[in-house]
Structures are given as structure tokens and as C-alpha cells.
């Protein structure tokens, strides 16, 4: 009983992780210029561009914005990036990592485009061939309205939006170029955020936001609107999307403040105690971080040497810079894209969105457990890339989509004749039984669902995503699983068969 309770709590902790917040890495607009480099300058411009991009990332990580200039004369590249000021450091890094890969859709390599800007709701990145850091407006500024019409009193919404954006645009220049807030009148609430970029001075910020205010009113009565100007960003929405800025962004500042207050008000003993505590915490953090770095370093070395290693650039190109049209699906741990490698081989590339610590565990699981496992009913892991801005896993490509796709479309569901279903049931069960009984490292999948059962052209079932796999204790031949609150014991094979049969014979979908 206690065991199952413990297990439940453990599982809840694993899945409902309160630390996972939203980096708002959703694209608001990608704007590329139409200037290109003349042929003799291309090579230099591109290498300056790459050098600038490499310099931007560490700066973002330390100060949340970055302005970089690289190169000389006609091949100088200017780059600027910044996160929205309400994001945590971790979300800022995540948002920026995505932003950096997506700006390549302006095709700086293929067509030598000399400028581009990418607005995400959590961060911003721009590169160009002239000094633009203090600019407020330009002809490429854009207003992007949401698709959904507001259900409710539109004139109340418009009035609230106007009041809100007037207030935000007045407040932001006074408060370090950033302001969030909301307005509620007559049961309608709108939320908003205004931010000017770091090098846009006070008067330019005011000017930029004033223009943004006049443009954003064209979006009402849509539920959402954004103005994406050269020097500022303004957004309203009927959903709360920002983090409340009254929450502390950095714990370390608070720690010192606390230490100072305590020291001033209490005895030398208290001071000593505080110093000891601070030293202890700092030391612990440093050791922890060093440990994580060493773990990461060791893994990087191992992966680099192995044949499992793929280069980030190759995978990026293979998936057309993770273009939406290549997207195969979205899972809990990341999204999956179809890619074609330079040798013509078709693969599925999974992008993992995890912060470093969680990611190391996840990665370790997936790569180490699965790369040795070969079975006709299991999706094969071909390799990975962890040296780039985000980590990628490369799987064999299974052409006929997942069972989930068949269940979500009635027409496709009818394709699954009983012989086919029998084949799928048997194949899935064989795959699971292999994981449970025959493979060297015994694995419990723990996330069997329709979208994790892929189908080959001949309807051979293939089980995907071993992300939640855990090692199977050597001396145990039976597993326990909590179903609907009751602890039941099954032989793994019968469990597997039951599970799949119940999925496939679900007649409520017919």
C-alpha cells in the first residue's frame, strides 16, 4: 500500500514538474531583408555572421541581451538579441536557443541574405549589415493580429485594450524599457506587455511605443494583437501570458540583501552564521554545477567518439531548418521532424526541449538504453547530436504514421481490418515482450499509447519513444502496475497483450 502510494507520488513528481515553465518560444514573425551579398563578399560575410552568432549566445546567458559586431568594411555583421524581461534565465536560454536556429530560415547560407529579424513571444534576434541597435522604427515593422475573434462585448474589449496600451507605453520608458499589466472593466480583462530593446534610448522608446499603440488598435476586437517594431515589442491578449514581475528574478540578489539586513540588526554571531550559510550554499552550488559540467563533458566525449554522433548542422539542413512542413508530431519530450540526410537516407529527428539537468537524464536513458537494441517491432535509434544549441535524437523513419492517426480519422480507421489489427496486436506485444524479457537491459516502456505505436507500410507495428524507460530489476520476473487505483500483478507478456487489445478493440470509436 505504502509502496504504491510512494510510487504514485514519485510518478506525479516526474510528470507534474513545477519547475518546467514556458519559454514562450512561439514565433510572432520572421522578417528577412531582400539585400544579398555580392559573390566575392559572401564567404566573408557568412563567416562573420557565424562568429557573431557564436558570440551572442554566451552574452545572452549572462546579461539577457547581446549586441555584437564582427568583421570590417562591407562584410561587417551586426547582431542583437534580447529576452523579454519577465522570463527566467532558464526560459531565456531555451527561447534563445530556438530563436537562433530559426533565424537561419532567412537563408544566410544559401542566398547570402544580409539581414533578418525573428520575433518570438519570449525573445528577439536580429542581424543586419549596418548599425541598427538604437533604431526605433523602419519600413519592415509589422502588426500581427490573432486569428480568433473575441467572444463577448467587442467595444468593451477595445476600450480596455486602448486603456492598457496607453498605460504600458507611458510606463515602459520610465521603468527600464519594460512594463506589464492588465485592465479589467465590465468583466473583460486584457493583459499586456511592452518592451523596448536595450540600446533604444528613452525618447526613442517613447516614440516607438506611441507608434505601436496607434497600430495595435487595428487588431481589436481580435483576442490578441502584437506590434513588432524595430525598437520595441507590444502585445495584448485576453489570456495572461507574462510572468508577474513582482516575483524575484534572481535568488542571489535576495540572498545578499537578506544577509545585509540580518547583519545590521543582530549580533556578530548571527553575522557569522549567515556567512557560514552563504559560503555553504555557494560552495554547494559551485560543486553541483561543476558536477553537472563534468557529467556533461564526459558524455560529450563519449558521444563524440562514437559512431552515434551526428553533426547539428547536418541534421538542421536535413530537416530544412526544422521547417513546419517537415514536422511529424509533437510529444511530451519534444517534437519530431522528417529529415533527409546527405546520403539520401530518410530519418526522423527528435528535438528535445529540456533544461540541462533533466535533459542529461533523459538523454542518457534514450541513447544508452536503446542504441544496442534491435528488434523488428522496435523503432531503432540511429544516433544523436548534443554539441549544438539543442539536443537531437535520430531515429529510423517509419513511413505509415502512428496508430493515433488511424484512430483520429474514421476513414483511416476503417483501413484497419481485423487481420491487420491482429498483426498490430501481436507485433506490439512481441516488441514489449522483447523489452521486458529478452533484451539485455530490461526495459519497461511506461508510456504505451496510440501515438507511440508506429506502423510500417506492411502494418508491422513498431514501438517508439523509450524516454521513460527505467532499468528492470534483474531478479524480478513480474511487474506491478497501478490500474485505476488498484495494484494488480501481471505477467509482462499478458500485460502487453491486454494493453494493446484494449486499445485496438475500442469500438466506441467506430
Catalytic residue IDs: 447
Which lies closer to ligand NAG via its Cβ, residue 130 or residue 422?
A: 130
Q: Which DSSP letter does residue 183 get?
A: E
Q: Residue 34: exposed, middle, or buried by beta-carbon count in 10 A (0-12, 13-18, 19+)? A: exposed
Residue nearest to ligand NAG (CB): 51
> Binding of ligand NAG at residue 155 (CB under 6 A)?
yes
Q: What pairing do the DSSP bridges indicate for beta strands 391-396 and 381-385?
A: antiparallel
Residues 442-446: contacts with CB under 8 Å, at least 24 apart = 442/471, 442/472, 442/474, 443/369, 443/373, 443/469, 443/470, 443/471, 443/472, 444/469, 444/470, 444/472, 444/479, 445/469, 446/470
Q: Which of 26, 63, 148, 214 binds ligand NAG (CB under 6 A)?
A: 214
Locus of grid cell 526522423: 348
> Binding of ligand NAG at residue 201 (CB under 6 A)?
yes
Q: Which of 3, 62, 187, 251 binds ligand NAG (CB under 6 A)?
A: 187
Kindly indicate which of the ranges 180-188, 406-414, 437-445, 477-485 contains the residues binding ligand NAG, using the contact rule CB under 6 A.
180-188
Q: Which of 170, 262, 387, 501 binds ligand NAG (CB under 6 A)?
A: 170
Q: Which of 88, 145, 146, 181 binds ligand NAG (CB under 6 A)?
A: 181
Site string for ligand NAG, 7-36 (x = CB under 6 A): ---------------------------x--
Which lies closer to ligand NAG via its Cβ, residue 187 or residue 475?
A: 187
Q: How far is the CB of 35 from ligand NAG (least distance, A)?
A: 7
> Rounded to whole angstroms, what are the CA distances from 440 to 382, 389, 443, 472?
18, 33, 9, 10
> Binding of ligand NAG at residue 217 (CB under 6 A)?
no
Tallying the residues shown for the chain, one arrives at 510
Q: What is the torsional sign of CA 385, 126, 96, 290?
A: positive
Q: In what order do the strands lie in the sheet with 188-196?
A: 142-145, 224-228, 232-237, 188-196, 178-185
> Binding of ligand NAG at residue 167 (CB under 6 A)?
yes
Kindly indicate which of the ranges 200-208, 333-341, 409-417, 435-443 contains the residues binding ligand NAG, using the contact rule CB under 6 A.
200-208
Q: Which of 215, 385, 391, 452 binds ligand NAG (CB under 6 A)?
A: 215
> Rounded to whole angstroms, what are the CA distances from 464 to 97, 165, 335, 455?
26, 47, 13, 10
Cα 427 from chain centre: 33
Q: How far is the CB of 246 from ligand NAG (least distance, A)?
A: 5
- Which residues, including other chains, have CB under 8 Å from residue 205's CB and lie 6 or more apart? 136, 172, 173, 177, 196, 231, 232
Q: How far is the CB of 482 from ligand NAG (least distance, A)?
A: 36
How is residue 224 written as a grid cell? 490578441
Which lies closer to ligand NAG via its Cβ, residue 42 or residue 327?
A: 42
> Binding of ligand NAG at residue 204 (CB under 6 A)?
yes
> Binding of ligand NAG at residue 143 (CB under 6 A)?
yes
Which lies closer to ligand NAG via its Cβ, residue 144 or residue 341?
A: 144
> Binding of ligand NAG at residue 62 (CB under 6 A)?
no
Which lies closer to ligand NAG via its Cβ, residue 55 or residue 371?
A: 55
Binding site for ligand NAG (CB under 6 A): 34, 51, 70, 73-74, 134-136, 139, 141-143, 153, 155-156, 167, 170-171, 180-182, 186-187, 201, 203-204, 214-215, 244, 246
Amino acid at each position: 500500500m505504502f509502496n504504491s502510494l510512494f510510487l504514485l507520488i514519485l510518478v506525479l513528481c516526474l510528470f507534474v514538474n513545477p519547475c518546467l515553465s514556458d519559454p514562450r518560444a512561439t514565433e510572432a514573425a520572421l522578417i528577412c531583408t531582400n539585400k544579398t551579398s555580392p559573390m566575392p563578399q559572401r564567404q566573408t560575410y557568412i563567416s562573420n555572421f557565424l562568429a557573431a552568432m557564436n558570440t551572442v549566445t554566451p552574452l545572452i546567458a549572462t546579461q539577457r541581451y547581446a549586441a555584437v559586431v564582427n568583421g570590417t568594411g562591407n562584410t561587417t555583421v551586426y547582431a542583437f538579441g534580447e529576452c523579454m524581461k519577465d522570463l527566467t534565465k532558464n526560459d531565456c536560454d531555451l527561447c534563445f536557443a530556438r530563436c537562433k536556429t530559426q533565424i537561419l530560415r532567412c537563408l544566410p547560407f544559401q542566398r547570402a541574405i544580409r539581414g533578418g529579424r525573428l520575433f518570438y513571444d519570449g525573445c528577439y534576434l536580429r542581424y543586419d549589415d549596418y548599425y541598427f541597435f538604437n533604431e526605433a522604427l523602419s519600413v519592415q515593422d509589422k502588426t500581427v493580429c490573432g486569428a480568433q475573434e473575441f467572444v463577448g462585448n467587442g467595444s468593451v474589449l477595445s476600450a480596455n485594450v486602448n486603456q492598457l496600451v496607453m498605460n504600458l507605453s507611458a510606463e515602459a520608458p520610465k521603468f527600464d524599457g519594460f512594463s506589464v499589466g492588465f485592465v479589467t472593466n465590465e468583466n473583460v480583462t486584457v493583459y499586456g506587455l511592452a518592451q523596448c530593446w536595450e540600446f533604444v534610448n528613452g525618447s526613442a522608446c517613447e516614440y516607438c511605443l506611441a507608434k505601436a499603440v496607434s497600430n495595435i488598435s487595428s487588431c481589436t476586437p481580435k483576442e490578441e494583437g502584437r506590434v513588432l517594431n524595430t525598437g520595441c515589442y507590444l502585445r495584448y491578449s485576453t489570456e495572461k501570458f507574462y510572468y508577474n514581475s513582482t516575483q524575484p528574478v534572481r535568488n542571489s540578489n535576495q540572498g545578499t540583501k537578506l544577509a545585509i539586513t540580518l547583519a545590521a540588526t543582530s549580533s556578530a554571531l548571527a553575522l557569522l552564521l549567515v556567512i557560514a550559510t552563504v559560503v555553504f550554499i555557494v560552495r554547494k552550488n559551485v560543486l553541483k554545477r561543476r558536477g553537472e559540467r563534468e557529467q556533461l563533458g564526459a558524455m560529450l566525449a563519449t558521444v563524440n567518439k562514437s559512431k552515434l554522433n551526428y553533426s547539428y548542422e547536418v541534421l538542421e539542413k536535413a530537416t530544412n531548418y526544422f521547417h513546419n512542413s517537415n514536422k511529424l508530431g509533437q510529444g511530451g519530450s519534444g517534437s519530431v521532424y522528417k529529415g533527409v540526410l546527405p546520403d539520401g537516407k530518410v530519418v526522423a529527428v527528435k528535438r528535445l526541449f529540456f533544461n540541462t539537468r533533466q535533459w542529461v537524464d533523459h538523454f542518457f536513458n534514450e541513447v544508452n538504453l536503446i542504441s544496442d537494441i534491435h528488434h523488428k517491432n522496435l523503432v531503432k535509434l540511429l544516433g544523436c547530436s548534443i554539441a549544438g544549441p539543442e539536443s537531437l535524437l535520430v531515429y529510423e523513419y517509419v513511413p505509415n504514421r502512428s496508430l493515433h492517426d488511424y484512430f483520429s480519422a474514421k476513414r483511416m480507421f476503417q483501413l484497419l481490418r481485423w487481420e491487420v489489427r491482429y498483426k498490430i496486436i501481436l507485433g506490439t506485444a512481441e516488441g514489449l515482450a522483447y523489452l521486458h524479457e529478452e533484451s539485455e537491459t530490461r526495459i519497461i516502456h511506461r508510456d504505451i499509447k496510440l501515438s507511440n505505436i508506429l506502423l510500417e507500410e506492411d502494418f508491422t507495428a513498431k514501438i517508439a519513444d523509450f524516454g521513460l524507460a527505467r532499468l528492470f530489476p534483474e531478479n524480478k520476473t513480474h511487474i506491478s502496475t497501478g490500474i485505476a487505483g488498484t495494484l494488480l500483478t501481471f505477467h509482462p507478456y499478458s500485460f502487453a497483450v491486454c494493453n494493446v487489445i484494449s486499445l485496438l478493440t475500442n469500438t466506441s470509436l467506430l
